[in-house]
């Protein structure tokens, strides 16, 4: 991999994009505060910042999804009309959204070509469209099958389609919103190769990221956003990770430091557990896993490889078709969710909005949702609202949930406070097993370190933690041992420190042939 310095763009290259004083408010929140940026042909600009720093808002303004309250945008020397993706496309700006904007039921070619011909043309020239698509794919090394339905593609392939969609429309400026969030380390490296081919061709690239290592792997210039403001712009080669991290967070950050603990008795034991999927390959395929007290077990994998099924199994939402599952020695093959809660399982669900909380209900109602039938909170089928509110006030203060009070509507809380609410609901009762699915997805650095701290506290207290995460950095920071999930199968536990990021990436991509050498070495 060439060093970023060797690819540094000369200061004389043409300025292709100029943002001047972009300001955008959402109600009381100042999402972008007078941001000015320039981008030159052949340059890769990394937009670095925490979640909620305003990176995506800025790019959505650039692409016309939002209209800025003030400020102007110039592309190739011409002012860009605000609020129109069509105008942005015409000006040569292409965007690869974090949540891909592809239609699963349509073919790759349809997804790429739609909207590129005059709408009322009485026929479509599909043969020409296919030729153009294949030529682009070959030129930039983005292999795709034009006639495959997008629904059949892997995440990496979908991203290639998104990039081709922009190139097909002759984009000269490409915006990528958190492009590596869904990729394995190897796929990310492939993406960076593609970006280099694109910039060699004179394209300018903006990519949004909150991961430091990517900034250094792929960018020429880095712009740091914090709380809606542009705090610094540097040539990537002239700065370092430490400095960028401080700029991004606004203070020094300490990584979590798990204390060394001796694992205790097993709390969760899965033996050859299989979960059928109704059709095709099983969701979980003969999975063996043991989680002990004083232990964090990390499950790494690319999304959609069985993580959801594993979480649902441990929550009692689905039952194994084969094998044995036990909690503290007791069989749980047919347990229901309420039974699992009673047995001491704390659940932090993957999607806090859809499965974790009921947004339209009050904070106190959500806090007692798992145990409203307890004597503490209901008697003879009538809720004891006073007791529930008093309990809610306790949890709110113990877990530092920032909200107006127990009667506040839950959906008005920020993501970080919602997650604290869930932690409070589940951890207040001293659980034996904590099932944490994506516990910090979408949270800012402060909230992430709070969640990590609470999980490590529970581990020190004697709980076992099953941490399912797509964020490899999170797993490496917390887990004592790591297992990789791929196509519903789980590797044996690999002790942290005995396995490299590269090896984990290969395992996540399904190259399990390297497994024997890791296990032998460990």
Which spans of this chain sit near other proteins (rule: CB under 8 A)? 63, 65-66, 84-86, 89-90, 95, 97, 101-106, 110-111, 113-124, 165
Minimum separation from the CB atom of position 65 to other proteins (A): 6
If we measure between CA atoms, which residue out of 63, 75, 58, 66 comes closest to residue 22? 58
Minimum separation from the CB atom of position 35 to other proteins (A): 19
If we measure between CA atoms, which residue out of 289, 184, 505 comes closest to residue 518? 505
Minimum separation from the CB atom of position 106 to other proteins (A): 6
Q: Which residue, 66 or 140, has its beta carbon nearer to other proteins?
A: 66
Residues 6+ apart with CB under 8 A from 310: 284, 287, 299, 468, 485, 490
Q: Which residue, 86 or 373, has its beta carbon nearer to other proteins?
A: 86
Q: Which residue, 125 or 240, has its beta carbon nearer to other proteins?
A: 125
**Unique residue bearing structure tokens 């919602």:** 418
* Per-residue burial over 8-43, b = 16 or more CB atoms within 10 Å of its CB, e = otherwise: ebeeeeeebbbbeebbbeeeeebbbbebebbbbbbb
Minimum separation from the CB atom of position 96 to other proteins (A): 10
Minimum separation from the CB atom of position 87 to other proteins (A): 8
Minimum separation from the CB atom of position 113 to other proteins (A): 7
Q: Does residue 492 contact residue 270 with C-beta atoms inside 8 Å?
A: no
208 half-sphere exposure, CB direction, 13 A CA radius: 22
**Unique residue bearing structure tokens 């004179």:** 202
Q: How many CB atoms lie within 10 A of CB 139?
A: 12
Q: Which residue, 97 or 420, has its beta carbon nearer to other proteins?
A: 97
Q: Which residue, 119 or 260, has its beta carbon nearer to other proteins?
A: 119
Q: Please state, in angstroms and rounded to a whole number, the distance separating the CA atoms of residues 73 and 82.
A: 8
Q: Please state, in angstroms and rounded to a whole number, the distance separating the CA atoms of residues 238 and 497.
A: 31
Q: Which residue, 99 or 254, has its beta carbon nearer to other proteins?
A: 99
Minimum separation from the CB atom of position 66 to other proteins (A): 6
Q: Which residue, 351 or 374, has its beta carbon nearer to other proteins?
A: 351
Q: How many CB atoms lie within 10 A of CB 405?
A: 12
Minimum separation from the CB atom of position 123 to other proteins (A): 6
Q: What H or E segment, with its residue span, contains residue 420?
A: helix 415-427
Q: What are phi and psi of 203, to 5 degrees?
A: -70, 155
Minimum separation from the CB atom of position 200 to other proteins (A): 26
Q: Please state, in angstroms and rounded to a whole number, the distance separating the CA atoms of residues 63 and 173.
A: 11
Q: Which residue, 1 or 119, has its beta carbon nearer to other proteins?
A: 119
If we measure between CA atoms, which residue out of 92, 63, 55 comes closest to residue 231? 55
Q: Which residue, 93 or 191, has its beta carbon nearer to other proteins?
A: 93
Q: Please state, in angstroms and rounded to a whole number, the distance separating the CA atoms of residues 273 and 288.
A: 7
Q: What H or E segment, with its residue span, contains residue 287?
A: strand 284-292
Q: Which residue, 106 or 261, has its beta carbon nearer to other proteins?
A: 106
Q: Please state, in angstroms and rounded to a whole number, the distance separating the CA atoms of residues 108 and 214.
A: 28
Minimum separation from the CB atom of position 170 to other proteins (A): 13
**Unique residue bearing structure tokens 């669900």:** 349
């Amino acid at each position: 991999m060439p060093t970023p310095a060797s690819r540094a763009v000369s200061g004389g290259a043409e300025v292709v994009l100029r943002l001047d004083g972009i300001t955008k408010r959402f109600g009381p929140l100042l999402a972008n505060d007078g941001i000015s940026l320039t981008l030159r042909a052949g340059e890769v600009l990394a937009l670095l910042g925490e979640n909620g720093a305003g990176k995506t808002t800025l790019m959505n303004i650039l692409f016309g999804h939002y209209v800025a309250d003030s400020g102007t945008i110039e592309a190739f020397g011409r002012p860009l009309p605000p609020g129109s993706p069509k105008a942005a496309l015409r000006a040569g700006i292409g965007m690869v959204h974090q949540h891909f904007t592809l239609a699963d039921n349509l073919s790759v070619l349809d997804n790429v070509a739609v909207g590129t011909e005059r709408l009322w043309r009485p026929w479509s020239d599909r043969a020409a469209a296919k030729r153009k698509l294949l030529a682009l794919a070959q030129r930039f090394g983005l292999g795709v099958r034009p006639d495959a339905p997008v629904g059949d593609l892997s995440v990496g392939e979908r991203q290639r389609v998104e990039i081709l969609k922009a190139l097909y429309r002759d984009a000269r400026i490409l915006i990528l919103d958190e492009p590596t969030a869904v990729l394995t380390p190897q796929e990310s490296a492939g993406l960076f190769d593609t970006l280099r081919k694109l910039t060699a061709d004179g394209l300018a690239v903006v990519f949004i990221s909150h991961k430091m290592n990517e900034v250094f792997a792929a960018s020429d210039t880095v712009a740091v956003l914090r709380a809606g403001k542009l705090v610094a712009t540097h040539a990537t080669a002239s700065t370092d990770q430490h400095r960028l991290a401080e700029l991004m967070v606004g203070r020094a950050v300490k990584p979590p430091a798990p204390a060394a603990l001796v694992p205790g008795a097993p709390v969760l034991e899965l033996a050859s557990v299989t979960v059928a999927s109704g059709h095709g390959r099983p969701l979980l395929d003969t999975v063996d896993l043991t989680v002990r007290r004083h232990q964090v077990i990390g499950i790494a994998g690319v999304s959609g490889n069985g993580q959801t099924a594993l979480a649902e199994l441990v929550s009692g939402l689905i039952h194994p078709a084969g094998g044995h599952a036990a909690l503290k020695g007791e069989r749980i093959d047919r347990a229901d969710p309420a039974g699992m809660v009673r047995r001491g399982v704390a659940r932090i669900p993957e999607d806090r909005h859809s499965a974790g909380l009921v947004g339209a209900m009050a904070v106190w109602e959500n806090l007692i949702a798992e145990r409203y039938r307890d004597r503490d909170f209901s008697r003879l089928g009538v809720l004891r609202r006073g007791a529930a509110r008093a309990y809610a006030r306790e949890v709110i203060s113990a877990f530092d949930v920032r909200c107006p009070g127990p009667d506040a509507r839950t959906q008005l809380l920020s993501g970080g406070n919602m997650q604290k609410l869930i932690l409070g609901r589940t951890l207040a009762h001293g659980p034996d097993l904590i099932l944490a699915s994506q516990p910090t997805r979408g949270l800012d650095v402060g909230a992430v370190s709070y969640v990590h701290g609470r999980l490590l506290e529970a581990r020190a207290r004697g709980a076992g933690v099953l941490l399912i995460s797509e964020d490899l950095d999170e797993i490496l920071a917390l887990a004592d041992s790591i297992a990789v999930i791929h196509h519903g199968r789980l590797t044996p536990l690999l002790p942290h420190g005995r396995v490299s990021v590269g090896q984990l990436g290969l395992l996540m991509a399904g190259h399990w042939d390297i497994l024997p050498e890791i296990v032998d070495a460990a």
